[in-house]
Structure 1
Amino acid sequence: MRIAIVYQYYQGTGAPGHSLIYELAQFLAGRGHEVTVVSGETGYMQRDTPNLPWYRRLRREERDGQVRVLRTFTYSELHRSYLGRLLSFASFSLSGAVGLLTIDKVDLVLASSPPIFPIFAAALVCRIRRTPLVIEVRDLWPESAVQMGILKNRTLIRIMAWMERRLYDQSARIVTLTEGIRDDICGRGWPANKVDVVTCGVDFDRLYPDPQGAALVRSARGWEGKRVVMYFGALGEANNIPVILRAARSLRERGDVLFVLVGDGLRRQAIEQEVAADDLANVVVLPPVAKHQARVYLSAADVCLVTLKDIPLFDGAIPTKLIDYMACARPVLCGIRGEARRILDTAQAGLGFEPDDDRQLGRLISELLDDERCRERLGANGLAFVRSHFAAERMRQRMESILRMVAETGSVSNPAADGLR
């Protein structure tokens, strides 16, 4: 197959944040498919500002192994504010669509959302060129932004909801990251036989328990003698970091407990300011870590945390960090309802707490830190579960079979069906 992948944040395992699209692209290319990725210039948690002048950044080609990568101009200050993020989306919407037009016609386009604006632009190119479109939905837009209170302008909400409907109508297949997202889409009228679930998976040659690496990290960071409670991932509005900071305040008298937040995002500066203002000596905020180093940091933790805001939409979320924690045999405290909590409970890999209940979180942290045997049991359960249910190789094979089916049938949107919803 000749496949074009459109995703704003294509990055390898040497960069912080997830690398799911990179791993999928490399897998498909290794299976003999011709893969071109159209991407922006920066990673999701990477603050590096491009050094080249703007006119030399309009369109650049790279080779990443067997994958052809087309980088197009993107506003890079997405971490400064919501306006910066919007400008980043808008710039890639234009440049990415133009970049997609410049490549030879492919058998299909796989576009990953969010953000939704560049995917809508890519869909227009697919319509012009009569190319089948497969949409991978990692998060529901605009509904997630509305429920978090980020998006309040009614006109913009209506525009984005219309864009979402048009995208789902036009797509040959819709691939969701979780069952909750699939149920939401099907519940709004799209046929179940058009929607597939392909969850995130784990590369067990990269993520595994690493006690030797953990010892090195603990020594280098001065964490010997500390009980490390770690959050590893995005520091954004959705991630509900305040509940962790409140729990840290309640445990500040325990000199052996250290909260470590590893990551970046829109809320990082505010989090650092709050830690400094409240003199939370038991909280450390570290910059994001490359994916290939994640296991040594996760293995250095005694307990890992996964949190999200308490909104109904996140009942269908499975943060990749949850699976990563379990792959490194770490016991997990989960402040998310719904699908993520069901995975944790089924695996018996940790304990759940009410999303905004810092007192319950503080109590569970103390109990787990004082019970080494329980931590070991929960960690072992989690590792066994992800090995059985979340192997990345199987997930990529499933995605390949979906793409192959679309390419072979040559399915494109039915213009008569567009706009019915």
Structure 2
Amino acid sequence: MRLLFLTDNFPPEVNAPATRTFEHCLEWVRQGVSVTVITCAPNFPQGKVYPGYRNRLWQEEEMEGIRVIRVWSYIAPNAGFYRRVIDFVSFCGCAFVASLFVRTDLIVATSPQFFTAVAGYLASVCKRKPWVMEVRDLWPISIKAVGAVSGKARVLSRLEHLELFLYRSARKVIVVTHSFKKNIAERGIPPEKITVVTNGVHLEQFRARPQDAALVEKLGLSGKFVVGYLGTFGLAHKLVFILRCAPKVAANVHFLLVGDGAKRQQLEGLVAKHQLTNVTILPVVPKAEVARYLSVIDVALVNLRKSRTFRTVIPSKIFENAAMGKPILLGVQGESQAIIERYGAGRCFRPEDEVDFLRQLRKLSEDPVLYARCQANCAALAAAYDRKTLALEMLGALREVVT
């Protein structure tokens, strides 16, 4: 089978969408599928093209058997509604044109920004090939939840009409949570058309290991109970709330935030203003270095702002941290909370509730029996979300479309 995958995030970018797509495609290549990915020059989240790449109309490379075509797009930082929309639309147009030159049996286009899915739909019409929409986020509902479309109700309404049109036109819709399936089905899409393939973890890459002693010394973390966050500093993640709690934790607790995004400058400003000596903020690290940085933390922070919309999501960092044996300190309600509680792999606090956050953090940092139990339970959680198994499940769903 020949498969064309359209995505605006792909390695060397290290965010969750890029990782999911790459690891799925890699497994499909191992299963004998010919995979071509159309993406853009890597630039997320800073909005700057990575070293070694240029923002050109067409450039090709091969990554572990995957043919990767990178096309031009208007590049903007992960901030500012209209500039981001121009970014999305420009990639949609260029990806569509590039798709016309790729032979394929099936087209897959992935959100969260569904202008990529528009390119998939257009390619399907012109090439007369079936297409599948992968939904990693309920966009545009999620951008409303973070206030990115405040005062733009007409724009949001039109985007939601486009969203439903795309669901109807796709041969199959693949979503990452059961809550997503329920939401889409309740809006008129046949449930049998929707397949759930959750996020997961590459167990060969992420596994329990001793702390990296050199990194502990370099970062001055010796003797500290480290609460770690590796990911995007975005509007949805409410890390400002975490820093407001930082002065109120025990003396041995230290926060390590590694990443970049729209809120980075504000976070750094808060650290400087309040002289938060128990907070370290570092830039994005390469994917190959992520496990090394995770090794030095004691608890993994997974936090989103308070919103009913986010009760439907399952942040992928849950699985990587669990595979490393790091108990989860979760500030997300809904399906994510159910997973943590089902496996006993950490503690959950109510989003943006300072008292509850400090209470649950104290339990993990001061109760060694609880900590050890959560740490042991992380292995079972990670094993249940093995990326290889999930990739094969998705491949099976894709093959149903072309048979």
Smaller-chain TM-score bracket: over 0.9
8 Å Cα contact 1:247/1:358 also seen in 2: yes
For these two proteins, the number of residue pairs brought into alignment is 400
1:11 maps to which residue?
Answer: 11
Matched with 2:399 is 404
Q: Which residue of the partner structure matches residue 350 of structure 1?
A: 346
Q: In 2 relative to 1, CA 101–232 (structure 1 residues): closer, same or farther, beyond 3 Å?
A: same
Q: Spell out, residue by residue over 1:250-294, the C-alpha distance to the aligned partner (whole angstroms, 9 max, x if none).
A: 22xx43221111111111111111221121111111112222322
Alignment of 1:219-238 (within 5 A): 219-238=217-236
Q: Deviations over 1:42-95 (max 9, x none)?
A: 1533654267998x7011111112111110012233235344422321221121
Report the secondary structure of 1:263's partner residue.
Answer: strand
Residues 195/92 of structure 1: CA separation in 2 closer, same or farther (3 Å cut): same
**Identity level (%):** 31
Match for residue 284 of structure 1 among 280, 283, 287: 280
RMSD: 1.8
Cα shift readout 1:192-224 (whole Å, capped 9, x = no counterpart) = 1100000112111100111143x2321222211
Which residue does 1:136 correspond to in 2? 134
Structure 1 SS opposite 2:205: coil
What residue is the counterpart of 2:329 in the other structure?
333
- Where does structure 2 lack aligned partners over 5 or more consecutive residues? none
Q: Distance in 2 between matches of 1:115 and 1:221?
A: 36
Tell me, in whole angstroms, the C-alpha distance in 1 between the residues paired with 2:105 and 2:365.
Answer: 53
- Tell me if structure 1 keeps the 8 A contact 2:106–2:129: yes
SS, match of residue 238 in structure 1: coil
1:379 aligns with 2:378: no
2:181 corresponding residue in structure 1 = 182
Q: Is residue 94–residue 121 contact of structure 1 (8 Å, CA) maintained in 2?
A: yes
Written as runs of structure 1 = structure 2, the 5 A alignment for 1:289-328 is: 289-328=285-324
> Which runs of structure 2 are paired with 1:127-206 in the superposition (5 Å)?
127-152=125-150, 153-206=152-205
User: Contact (CA 8 Å) 1:6, 1:122: kept in 2 or not?
Assistant: yes
Name the structure 1 match of 2:23.
Answer: 23
CA distance in 2, matches of 1:46, 1:342: 33
Q: Taking structure 1 as the reference length, what is the TM-score of the superposition?
A: 0.91
The equivalent residue for 2:34 is 34
- State the alpha-carbon separation in 2 of the partners of residues 390 and 43 from structure 1: 28
Aligned to 2:77: 78
Q: Following the alignment from structure 2 to structure 1, what is the Cα–Cα distance between the partners of residues 50 and 392? A: 35
Distance of 1:33 and 1:74 partners within structure 2: 28
Aligned partner of 1:255 in structure 2 is: 251
What pairs up with 1:58-77 in 2 under 5 angstroms? 58-77=57-76
Partner amino acid, structure 1, of 2:251: G
SS at match of 2:207: coil
Whether the aligned pair in 2 keeps the contact of 1:93 and 1:117 (CA below 8 Å) is yes
Contact 1:237 1:266 in 2 (8 A): yes
Displacement of 1:119 = 1.6
Q: CA deviation at 1:344?
A: 0.3
Q: Per-residue CA shift, 1:136-184, capped at 9, x if unaligned?
A: 1000011111222211312211221121011101101000001111110
Q: Secondary structure at the match of 2:347?
A: strand
Q: Distance in 2 between matches of 1:86 and 1:192?
A: 30
What is the SS of the residue equivalent to 2:49?
coil
Paired residue for 2:44?
44
* 8 A contact 1:207–1:294 mirrored in 2: no
Q: Structure 2 CA distance, aligned partners of 1:59 and 1:52?
A: 15
Are the counterparts in 1 of residues 58 and 70 from structure 2 also a CA contact under 8 Å?
yes
Cα distance in 2 for partners of 1:206, 1:50 equals 23
Q: Paired residue for 1:239?
A: 237
Partner of 1:93: 92
- Seen in structure 2, the aligned counterparts of structure 1 residues 347 and 43 have a Cα distance that, compared at 3 Å, is farther
Over 3 Å counting, the alpha-carbon distance change for 1:114 and 1:144 in structure 2 is same
Do the aligned residues in 2 keep the contact of 1:308 with 1:355 (CA within 8 Å)? yes
1:101–1:79 Cα change, 3 Å? same
Distance 1:190 1:405 in 2: 18
Q: Is the 8 A contact 2:211 2:296 kept in 1?
A: no
